[in-house]
Structure 1
Amino acid sequence: MTSESRAPWRVSLVVMLAVGVAAALFAASLRYRVEQRNRRVAVVVDFAEAARLATASGVPIADTLFHLKRVGVTGVAVTEDTVQDLVDTGRADVSASGAMTVLQLRDAATFERVSANLRMRGMTVAHETTPSDIPTVLLWAAAPRSGSAEQAAGYVRFLASYPAVRTVGVGLPPDAVATVRSAGLTCVARISNFAGATRMTVTQVLSAIRASGADTVICTGTEVLGHYGAAKEAAEALESAGVLWGQVEFGKQKGDDRLARALDSRYVRVHSISEGEMGTLSEDDAVDRFVRAARERNIRMIYVRLVTFAGSDSVERNVRYIGRIVKGMERGGLIRPGDPKPFEATGAPVWAFGLAGMAAGSLAAWLALSVLPCAGRRWLWWALLAPLVCAAAACAGESGRRVVALLAAIAAPTLACLPLVRMIHSEDATERRQPLLHAVRSLIEATLVTSLGIATVVGLLASRPFMLRTTQFLGIKAAHALPIAIIAILLVTGLPDPGEALDKVRARMASRAQAFLGQPVLVWAMALGLIILVALMLAVARTGNEPGVGVSGMELRARALLDAALPIRPRTKEFLLGHPAWILAIGLAAMGRRRWAAPLAVIAAIGQVSVLNTFCHIHTPLVLSAMRVAVGLALGAALGAMALAIVARLARGRAEPSPSSTG
């Protein structure tokens, strides 16, 4: 089929792509609006740590909280008392014998608080008398597995062993809550899940917390409220009580994903560092962790662990430490300290998702027509059908949109790299007079093609669950590996020419593949191939938010330097690998040295893949992702230009004849 006969179908694909990208940009604009309306991040410290700091430094707790508030702290987390806390602090005595535990409360106020909180957690009340006719109250759990309890004149008797009841929550300590509120700070409650949690009991507990002055809860322990089948009830209780739930990032608490879905993503994400991990981090590392979490991952509460409790200046050291965190957060004016709130729903309509899916199908169809040795009208009809199928899948729901977004993430960067493949295989051996200018222009054009995929992916996933990582982009490693693999194969087989006969295309591709596989392997070529292979494997292994390969200490220091020197740190795969390799590959091909350009083209593909992958992290604000790509593009082009200038000068100095084309 001639190129002229394909023209109407190409026009159709272009029209569908343009309409789909426009709809995707509309959905992306709705997400951008939501992000701009939610720019406050709560800075919270732990009350127990603040009290410990006050005791160690000799500064009253009220003054300690005042100093912390002065540098940006907005709230204090207060953990609920447990039976063991009452015993450890001398507010209660315990005696246990087998399956019987007796708790004696020291004062009436604590006794009333404990009694009320046990009732809130589902215990029913019955009145009986003791053998000495003293009025008593018998409490027992509604669920048999939670044991039973009896109280009389300041006693609570549990029909369970002490290890089974020592972690039972008995409410927030009122003195701690009062201290926090008098300091003008918000109170964040830390409570644990409890046996027999129902909508009624959880609502009672949360309503009491709300009445005490706390409007946000973070779950302690290994479970969230409502674990073991009551996530929906816990979500309804949170909304009924008007309490906000804070999901701890990387906390891996049981049931947090189900509670997040039950809340329809109406919660805030919290970043914290465990006490054990704080002992292994330097102050600079801790500051960097908190700053990046707040700026880059839609975290709306940072639970800051204090850095030291020793020395007469420990309060001032912690004040400086938190001040550095707040200053880093505020850099660029993207976010600022304040009371957190959930992200709004984007409100992106289904029709926008459908048209964005049509754009993804158009990209995939264009790629198929460009790289596959197919001819005939039936192939073109299939190509026109693909956008419609993808549009239907995107309208079908979240799962369909994830699959279609993956398709766009594979197709767009691959399409962007095809001109590089064509140039390397071009039969025209004429050298260009301005290889650097041509290389830079080619890199910009490729990034614009990749941007079509970026707009499509961002539009398809423009909803609150993706912004909060309740749901994530599907197949991040496949989106990295497949475009690079396709480009590597095409560098060997070449691309079909428009209108070329099918048999001729297949024969030429097979011949090139056989010639490549039949070439003798030199030591330097083997070494270069191994280096490229290892680089590609590392690039793929380190993708995602929880990569399988860690970051070296040297790279962490380099990242810190880039963070300090640039408005936003670009991705290493772009500015240090992909973009410089693109400039070198195009420049060498333009200079007639195509044999050296081919291996560089494989590395160059990493840059375009990484550019699109940057926007697949939907929990990263759009503005930040755009800044990261722009800085990486400028820095990578500059490094590539310097490398190309050095190579060109060396080539002129050696006066080597241009190697023959690999075409």
Structure 2
Amino acid sequence: MDNRKIYIPLFFVLILALLFSSYIAVQRMGYEKANRNVEVVVDYSQIWELAKRNNVDIREVLEKLKESGVTGILAKEQLIDDLEAQGFLYIKSGAELALDENLSFRENIKKDYTYFITPFPEIYDRLKTHLDAKVGGIEAFTEENRGLYYVGSPLSARILNLEGIGVGFPEEGIKASQELGLSFIPQIRTWPEAKVSSFDAVFEQLEGVPNISVLAFNDPYVPGYPHLLPELKEQVKKIGAPVALIEFFDQKGLKKLALDLGKNAVKLHSISSDEMINITPSRALDRYVLAASERNVRVILVRLFQNVSSVSWLDFNSAYIKELRSQLESEGLHPGTAKPFGSFPISYLMLGVIGSGVAAGGIILLLQVMDKKTSILLGFCGVLIYGLLFFFDINTARKFMAFASAVIFPTLAVVSTYDTERKSMNASILNLIKAVLISMIGALFIVGLLSGTGFMIGLDQFSGVKASLLAPLILIPLFLVLKHDKDNPIKISAEILNDFVRYKWLFALGILALAGAVMLVRSGNEAGMVSEIEIRFREMLRELLLVRPRTKEFLLGHPIMLISYYLGYRRKYIPLVVLGSIGQVSLVNTFEHLHTPLVISIIRTFNGLWMGILVGAAVILACEFLGKWGKRVLNA
């Protein structure tokens, strides 16, 4: 069997794997299209503070914000400080209270206790219930003649606040949300040494609230972590609402809780109070809209602007939220109650075939530089490893083959399309398109292998992002030398290494190292090193193209790859080819961001390709023009 015949079964497996991956991709796009509600909520404590400061009724504020597009309120579990600041209680030490000779329970007062005094029976009930469950040793008294309620605690108010011990949710906020038709999102605080019995106290107030749409947690770890997660799960199930996965805030135990709840979770995005000090309304709107449209965020916590001089703060923020609603709707999103993505079925047969498709791609890559037997043997070893992992841990198997796909196909895209002959402009463009299509096969296999709700909302993710970015950039020059210098590749490799000591190669290596470092640092959603100029440039591209292409594709990778095809293979151009390969690696990396809607990733890839072709073609034409002009000048 010659080399051409061996490609027939390999292409058959590839096509079958592509069909299955495409089917899964279409399914995923259907799930993403069906879930377009975005909940726009405001912070109840901020609303309360602004309303009181400006002498406006809180319901009037909520009504106006609802008209603008707000669908709900989020309320953190209150602290003692909150209740004191809002005038719901005052505090006395036991020693102070013991001086009051008219108290009916004076003899029972403990001088080393701190007493919280309130005229509101619902606040009294909350204090008594929560402090008894979370702290213990509570003493409670009622002074009916004065209409006051007393709750004594062995811990001072300062310690209770420092430890963040919550004392329930504002009744006024819950009632207002129900009467105004708004959803209610409680944010539960964690407390030290949580016990099963204390869960009842926390969730008792919430069980009778019908308009809870999402349940959020406040602290770096959820209550009861790590030992009481099963008990916490049962309490959350009684509420019947999805849990909130707060973007860029890792809460220990939350992912495990969400998985145990059958992935009944939604992503929430907010801008911190510290960030709000310097952010502009337009920048804040961009963040919210991008989070919802490009990262499957379904709850947006909107913090309001406070220091507004031109108009009233309420009118300003109402217009601000109206603009947010308008921009969300322009992205095909609708203000409404957040819903989790539905269950995504997984077919073991499809996963097996797609994994085999990745292995087939690996064999085709190896055939570029190796004999048939070695290539098939190594490909079979990959399938065997996949099969063993599949048997013991299917999730690890899927991630293993997805990583392999991210390395194999960008490498194959460059190695299989880069020839020794110089190409015309049209032929170079066709080669670049061919390379992109090969890389897209790998991207589609990743989509097929890592399908599921957990990947779409960030409960799970692609493993080995940095390594998958770096590995092809190492393999591509190695494979090119082996492919195009077959007579004595070891000697050629030694010559190239010797060449690297020359100044120009050190310079080229420096550029490569810098490009690689920037790409690795800038490969996530929280990328650093982003200047103000670049942020504005990105915003401009997004306004013009709806979906912004990746800079390292249309300004770096694709143009340089086009130039490389135009020049043809020469050993001295290898650093140039490696830089050009960044476009293919970045393309596949786009689809490793599994929380990004698939349509967005496809449009981003397309925009990066055509813009990269324009940039590369412009550079080639400019160089040709300058070359001809230079010759004319010299010959004149």
TM-score for both structures, normalised by structure 1: 0.85
8 Å contact from structure 1 (residues 574, 610) kept in 2: yes
CA 1:359–1:519 in structure 2 vs 1: closer, same or farther (change >3 Å)? same
Is residue 191 of structure 1 aligned with residue 192 of structure 2? no
Is residue 624 of structure 1 aligned with residue 595 of structure 2? no
The correspondence for 1:366, drawn from 354, 364, 370, is: 364
For 2:572 and 2:312, how far apart are their aligned partners in 1?
Answer: 61
User: 1:239 Cα shift?
Assistant: 1.4
Is residue 103 of structure 1 aligned with residue 116 of structure 2? yes
Is residue 383 of structure 1 aligned with residue 370 of structure 2? no
Is residue 315 of structure 1 aligned with residue 295 of structure 2? no
For 2:631 and 2:577, how far apart are their aligned partners in 1?
Answer: 24
Alignment match, 1:67: 64
CA 1:647–1:595 in structure 2 vs 1: closer, same or farther (change >3 Å)? farther
The one-letter code of the counterpart of 2:437 is L
The correspondence for 2:167, drawn from 166, 170, 195, is: 170
For 1:596 and 1:246, how far apart are their aligned partners in 2?
Answer: 53
CA 1:537–1:302 in structure 2 vs 1: closer, same or farther (change >3 Å)? same
8 Å contact from structure 2 (residues 39, 298) kept in 1: yes
Alignment match, 1:393: 389
The correspondence for 1:269, drawn from 267, 276, 299, is: 267
TM-score for both structures, normalised by structure 2: 0.88
Alignment match, 2:338: 340
Is residue 476 of structure 1 aligned with residue 465 of structure 2? yes
CA 1:37–1:454 in structure 2 vs 1: closer, same or farther (change >3 Å)? same
CA 1:496–1:641 in structure 2 vs 1: closer, same or farther (change >3 Å)? closer
Alignment match, 1:502: none
User: 1:201 Cα shift?
Assistant: 4.7
For 1:520 and 1:273, how far apart are their aligned partners in 2?
Answer: 48
For 1:216 and 1:350, how far apart are their aligned partners in 2?
Answer: 32
8 Å contact from structure 2 (residues 417, 435) kept in 1: no
The one-letter code of the counterpart of 1:530 is G
Alignment match, 2:325: 326
8 Å contact from structure 2 (residues 417, 434) kept in 1: no
User: 1:248 Cα shift?
Assistant: 1.3
For 2:283 and 2:172, how far apart are their aligned partners in 1?
Answer: 34
8 Å contact from structure 2 (residues 293, 331) kept in 1: no
For 1:69 and 1:102, how far apart are their aligned partners in 2?
Answer: 39
Alignment match, 1:642: 618
8 Å contact from structure 1 (residues 198, 234) kept in 2: no
With 53-62 and 597-606 compared, the bigger mean Cα shift is at: 53-62
For 2:153 and 2:501, how far apart are their aligned partners in 1?
Answer: 78
Is residue 527 of structure 1 aligned with residue 515 of structure 2? no
1:247 aligned counterpart, secondary structure: strand
Alignment match, 2:352: 354
Alignment match, 2:478: 489
The correspondence for 1:516, drawn from 492, 496, 501, is: 496
Alignment match, 1:296: 294
The one-letter code of the counterpart of 1:380 is I
Alignment match, 1:542: 522
For 2:28 and 2:197, how far apart are their aligned partners in 1?
Answer: 35
1:190 aligned counterpart, secondary structure: strand
The correspondence for 1:440, drawn from 429, 445, 451, is: 429
For 2:622 and 2:372, how far apart are their aligned partners in 1?
Answer: 48
Is residue 455 of structure 1 aligned with residue 444 of structure 2? yes
Is residue 155 of structure 1 aligned with residue 165 of structure 2? no
CA 1:102–1:313 in structure 2 vs 1: closer, same or farther (change >3 Å)? closer
With 186-195 and 40-49 compared, the bigger mean Cα shift is at: 186-195
User: 1:203 Cα shift?
Assistant: 5.4
User: 1:170 Cα shift?
Assistant: 2.9
8 Å contact from structure 1 (residues 148, 160) kept in 2: no
Is residue 40 of structure 1 aligned with residue 19 of structure 2? no
What stretches of structure 1 of length at least 5 have no aligned partner? 124-140, 498-504, 657-663
The correspondence for 2:80, drawn from 79, 83, 103, is: 83
CA 1:596–1:587 in structure 2 vs 1: closer, same or farther (change >3 Å)? farther
With 58-67 and 402-411 compared, the bigger mean Cα shift is at: 58-67
What stretches of structure 2 of length at least 5 have no aligned partner? 95-110, 143-148
Alignment match, 2:145: none
For 1:579 and 1:219, how far apart are their aligned partners in 2?
Answer: 44
Is residue 585 of structure 1 aligned with residue 564 of structure 2? yes
For 1:201 and 1:469, how far apart are their aligned partners in 2?
Answer: 30
With 212-221 and 611-620 compared, the bigger mean Cα shift is at: 212-221
User: 1:621 Cα shift?
Assistant: 0.6
User: 1:655 Cα shift?
Assistant: 4.6
CA RMSD of aligned residues (A): 2.6
User: 1:308 Cα shift?
Assistant: 2.5
User: 1:420 Cα shift?
Assistant: 4.3
The correspondence for 2:19, drawn from 1, 22, 26, is: 22
For 2:502 and 2:352, how far apart are their aligned partners in 1?
Answer: 51
For 2:375 and 2:599, how far apart are their aligned partners in 1?
Answer: 40
1:495 aligned counterpart, secondary structure: helix
With 455-464 and 597-606 compared, the bigger mean Cα shift is at: 597-606
Q: For 1:95-125, what per-residue CA distance to the aligned partner results, in whole angstroms no more than 9, with x for missing partners?
A: 335752222222334323444x43xx8x5xx
For 1:96 and 1:356, how far apart are their aligned partners in 2?
Answer: 69
For 1:114 and 1:228, how far apart are their aligned partners in 2?
Answer: 26
User: 1:7 Cα shift?
Assistant: 3.8
For 2:596 and 2:416, how far apart are their aligned partners in 1?
Answer: 31
8 Å contact from structure 2 (residues 270, 302) kept in 1: yes
8 Å contact from structure 1 (residues 330, 336) kept in 2: yes
8 Å contact from structure 1 (residues 226, 259) kept in 2: no
For 2:306 and 2:195, how far apart are their aligned partners in 1?
Answer: 41
For 2:276 and 2:258, how far apart are their aligned partners in 1?
Answer: 27
1:579 aligned counterpart, secondary structure: helix
CA 1:519–1:381 in structure 2 vs 1: closer, same or farther (change >3 Å)? closer
For 2:312 and 2:504, how far apart are their aligned partners in 1?
Answer: 59
User: 1:446 Cα shift?
Assistant: 0.7
For 1:108 and 1:454, how far apart are their aligned partners in 2?
Answer: 60
8 Å contact from structure 1 (residues 101, 162) kept in 2: yes
CA 1:620–1:201 in structure 2 vs 1: closer, same or farther (change >3 Å)? same
The one-letter code of the counterpart of 1:352 is M
8 Å contact from structure 1 (residues 99, 160) kept in 2: no
Alignment match, 2:105: none
Alignment match, 2:99: none
The one-letter code of the counterpart of 1:327 is S
The correspondence for 1:5, drawn from 2, 17, 28, is: 2
User: 1:362 Cα shift?
Assistant: 1.6
8 Å contact from structure 1 (residues 573, 607) kept in 2: yes
The one-letter code of the counterpart of 1:450 is S
8 Å contact from structure 1 (residues 56, 310) kept in 2: no
For 1:313 and 1:88, how far apart are their aligned partners in 2?
Answer: 24
With 467-476 and 209-218 compared, the bigger mean Cα shift is at: 209-218
8 Å contact from structure 1 (residues 370, 496) kept in 2: no
CA 1:231–1:14 in structure 2 vs 1: closer, same or farther (change >3 Å)? same
User: 1:522 Cα shift?
Assistant: 5.5
With 104-113 and 11-20 compared, the bigger mean Cα shift is at: 104-113
With 250-259 and 470-479 compared, the bigger mean Cα shift is at: 250-259
Aligned length: 605
